[in-house]
Amino acid sequence: MSYVDFIAPIHKSTTRDYLARVNDPEYPKAKAAELALKWDVEYWDGDRSTGYGGMNYDGRWRKVADLMAQHYGLKAGDKVLDIGCGKGFLLYDLAQAVPGLEVTGLEVSRYASDHAKPEIRSLVVDGKASELPFADAEFDFVFSINTLHNLPCYDLDRALREMMRVGKEHRYLCVESWRNESEKANLLYWQLTCRSFLAPDEWEWWFRQTGYTGDHSFIYFE
């Protein structure tokens, strides 16, 4: 298991007004979270207060795809699974970075899968991270970015074990975390769907409990 950070540059490039999200008069925090948890249009393409504020492909994930492909030595014929792939932008970029790569996405939101990038829409499967509809050791590389912190502890346990079950060799996950009270407060202000508010040592405890031995990184709300 190694700490490998592919995501920080993208995360840090986004400007966030934490207090504005909490104090939005049109979308009070509880109302915003209720809308976001439907995983429907409000979350993906609605107001910024209830989610992404419009998730459109802009190529920003290509750098992550290139780094992943190089780090894990991905090649044509390898099978890759993205758990919680959203609209599949990173899957598309991986397929572009490594011609012949066999990519599959898993997504709990029917809205996201229905609005996935057209080139890979047919490769996105509806399902839950805690119940992966795939065979043992089916994928050469399994990853999940900004998804597993949205699970309650009992599903998080199962999801980590499922990542181990369906993967052959390489695994990677990125989740939200906090190192101090300021980052914890910012995370609480910003999040809409998070269920597992864990510090790094708590995440590492879960990795040991479930036998997860893949790579990982954390994003912090500084």
The pLDDT of residue 204: 97
Structural domain spans, the chain: 8-219
Q: What are phi and psi of 15, to 5 degrees?
A: -85, 135
Length of the chain: 222
Cα separation, 111 vs 100, whole angstroms: 27
Tell me, what's the pLDDT at 1? 85
CA pseudo-torsion sign 215, 222, 66, 119? positive
Please name the fold of domain 8-219. Rossmann fold (3.40.50)
Question: What's the pTM value of the predicted model, to 2 decimals?
Answer: 0.96
Q: For residue 13, what pLDDT is reported?
A: 87
pLDDT tens per residue, range 59-91: 999 999 999 999 999 999 999 999 999 999 999
Q: What is the mean pLDDT of residues 46-62?
A: 94
Instruction: Please check whether residue 151 is in contact with residue 129, taking contact to mean a CB–CB distance below 8 angstroms.
Output: yes
H helix runs in 27-148, sequence order: 29-36, 41-45, 62-72, 89-97, 110-114
pLDDT digits (tens, 9 = 90+) for 169-217: 999 999 999 999 999 999 999 999 999 999 999 999 999 999 999 999 9
The residues with which 104 forms a beta bridge, in sequence order, are 81
Residue 79: phi and psi, rounded to 5, are: -105, 130
What are the distances in angstroms from CA 165 to CA 59, 68, 138, 184, 217? 31, 21, 9, 32, 20
